[in-house]
Structure 1
Amino acid sequence: MRRRRLSAALRRLRAEAGLSSPEVAKRLGWSPTKVTRAERNEWRRPAVKDVEAILTLYGVEGEERAHLLSLTEEARGRSDWHKYADLFTGPLPDLEAEAVRIHSYEAAVVPGLLQTPDYASAIFESGGIVPPEDTQRKVESRMARRSVLDVPNGPQLISVIDEAALRRVVGSPKVMAEQLRFLKGMAAHYKVTLLVVPFDAGAHTALDGAFSLLEFPSPEPGIVSLSTGVEPLYVEDEAYINRHRVIFEGVHNLALDPKKSLDLIESTAADHDKRA
């Protein structure tokens, strides 16, 4: 995924520079296929000196250059999440850690980054899909993902949640009450914005399902992550990403303001208390 992000950034920079692939190859003394392979993510381990040469040709300096060279080094190495590699079907932890902003919409469950251990465990245990021996490790990996919010250069999380996710009993009413009060506490985190779309908002642009839009430092394109019920789907197509920006803006505009959202979360937690 890091190599794909780097390739996408290099394609964009070349387009902004107004150069064709053959022109870049000629100026760098490379074969035309070398430029094409780099932009199509057909390289196994991108060479730092090659990326430096490309960035110099395109006039990329400062923070943008430093970021892309850092991404090049990371693309050559192994993810810090390798110990959980058997549990993840995609690069979500790395994407979250490297994003500058995460816009997420959840229709049926509390966002993974904001779940309690008991709530997450109940999710994994439902339906018998996750083997019992993997449940604890999956809970631990999900809790570890939240650490990105405490890193100084970590992402900002703007999370919009449908009221249905607050009402649905996952685990037990007691688990839900604790989850919602934890959610309310996380809303006070300086990197978290939490909004709720109430039932009376009616139909909206995100009714088709949950998604996350991850934004990265320029010139990298964003990525849309979709939950499919089987495994996450990651889409980098620019038109698709822009469409999801519009969808998120629409549902964001229908959500309650932060204070009213917290009031609804607290009242719903009280409702769960009565059933516990």
Structure 2
Amino acid sequence: MADGRTTAAAFLVAELRRARVRRGWSQDELARAVNYSASMVSAVELGQQAPTTKYLELADRALDTDGLFTRMLTDLVSLDRAQPWLRGWRAILEQARAVRWYEPRYVPGLFQTEAYARAVFEAGALLDPDEVDRRLTDRMDRQQILHAERPPHIVAVLDEAVLRRRVGEPKVMCDQAMHLVRVATEHPRVRMHVVPRSAGEYPALGGQFALATLPDGTELAYLDCQVRGQELDRPEDLLRLQRVWEVTLGEALPPQESIELMREVAESWS
């Protein structure tokens, strides 16, 4: 649902489920017919996973629907900006095979220590303690993505101000900077860069963004703000952010120099 109305994507998913039921098949039986896992069939029907063109072609063949669902994806869902399987940054991270992530304000959530994350949520006393605890638990749980069987390749670029701006006590900042060093040196699928203060002004300072590549090659962008996150998939928006990313990466220090800077900042907080 989006603004109380059924989206084209939600309609496709509902009709796909109805077609299976009319056939008298369980999710397991459809899974065998299309040569996908039952968990994939379930995820599609729950709106948690985007059905690919190949998946729908096989479903059309198995359910004898004469290409109906493939046409719906091509002719209707591609025009729909509120697809139900785009359910926020966590869902995107769980699906992505590669992520390019820029942050000018805070350490990226995937790399935050618990103490740093708590300080972020407690800032200004805007959230009650229960909400702080809920958000903290969610953020720490989300970090399990880094330890999945096949975690995404992540290239993160941080502005040096992220390391220099105090969040919590100095010890929190020292521990956080050293945690970044450990992630950058020990995690085989994470590469980290820092844009030094000497770089001056550059286009990405306008705000945080991330570019995620999904297994089928689809690319999405995610912007975070005070109220809610925003997902983008319009080609012109993606092209703009890709250009900003390339310029920003060109301003950043190489990985080893970035790690040395993070160590230096950690010492300054100790």
Correspondent of 2:229 among 229, 232, 239 = 232
Correspondent of 1:207 among 205, 208, 221 = 205
Alignment of 1:192 with 2:190, yes or no, is: yes
Whole-angstrom distance in 2 between the partners of 1:68 and 1:50: 18
Unaligned runs of 5+ in 1: 2-36, 52-64, 81-89
Whole-angstrom distance in 2 between the partners of 1:210 and 1:112: 12
Whole-angstrom distance in 2 between the partners of 1:235 and 1:245: 12
> Which residue identity lines up with residue 123 of structure 2 in the other structure?
S
Alignment of 1:76 with 2:45, yes or no, is: yes
Classify the secondary structure of the residue corresponding to 1:207. helix
User: Does the C-alpha gap of structure 1 residues 195 and 73 become closer, same or farther in structure 2, counting only changes over 3 Å?
Assistant: same
Q: For the Cα contact (< 8 Å) 2:170–2:269, is it kept in 1?
A: yes
Correspondent of 1:128 among 125, 130, 145 = 125
TM-score (norm 2): 0.72
Whole-angstrom distance in 1 between the partners of 2:16 and 2:269: 55
> Which residue identity lines up with residue 132 of structure 2 in the other structure?
T
Unaligned runs of 5+ in 2: 2-6, 21-33, 50-86
Question: Which contiguous aligned blocks of 4+ residues in structure 1 show a shift greater than 6 angstroms?
Answer: 48-51, 65-70
TM-score (norm 1): 0.70
Q: For the Cα contact (< 8 Å) 1:100–1:156, is it kept in 2?
A: yes
Whole-angstrom distance in 2 between the partners of 1:46 and 1:257: 50
Identify the residue that residue 171 of structure 1 maps to in structure 2: 168
Written as runs of structure 1 = structure 2, the 5 A alignment for 1:131-142 is: 131-142=128-139
User: Does the C-alpha gap of structure 1 residues 97 and 146 become closer, same or farther in structure 2, counting only changes over 3 Å?
Assistant: same
Instruction: Compute the displacement of 1:184 (Å).
Output: 0.6
Whole-angstrom distance in 1 between the partners of 2:41 and 2:206: 36
Classify the secondary structure of the residue corresponding to 2:204. coil
Residues 30-81 of structure 1, C-alpha deviations (whole Å, 9 max, x = no match): xxxxxxx85x554353527979xxxxxxxxxxxxx9789976541313769x
Alignment of 1:119 with 2:82, yes or no, is: no
Whole-angstrom distance in 1 between the partners of 2:15 and 2:147: 30
Identify the residue that residue 55 of structure 1 maps to in structure 2: none
> Which residue identity lines up with residue 227 of structure 1 in the other structure?
D
Instruction: Compute the displacement of 1:151 (Å).
Output: 1.6
**Percent of aligned positions that are identical:** 30
> Which residue identity lines up with residue 147 of structure 1 in the other structure?
Q
Identify the residue that residue 19 of structure 1 maps to in structure 2: none
Identify the residue that residue 106 of structure 2 maps to in structure 1: 109
Q: For the Cα contact (< 8 Å) 1:177–1:272, is it kept in 2?
A: yes
Residues 172-228 of structure 1, C-alpha deviations (whole Å, 9 max, x = no match): 111000000011101120111010000101221211111111111225x32111112
> Which residue identity lines up with residue 262 of structure 1 in the other structure?
I
Whole-angstrom distance in 2 between the partners of 1:263 and 1:97: 30
Written as runs of structure 1 = structure 2, the 5 A alignment for 1:1-276 is: 41-45=10-14, 47=16, 73-77=42-46, 91-188=88-185, 189-219=187-217, 221-273=218-270
Q: For the Cα contact (< 8 Å) 2:13–2:44, is it kept in 1?
A: no
Whole-angstrom distance in 2 between the partners of 1:66 and 1:215: 24
Aligned positions, number: 215
What RMSD over aligned residues (CA atoms) do the two structures have, in Å? 2.8
Q: For the Cα contact (< 8 Å) 2:88–2:229, is it kept in 1?
A: no
Classify the secondary structure of the residue corresponding to 1:187. helix
Q: For the Cα contact (< 8 Å) 2:88–2:231, is it kept in 1?
A: no
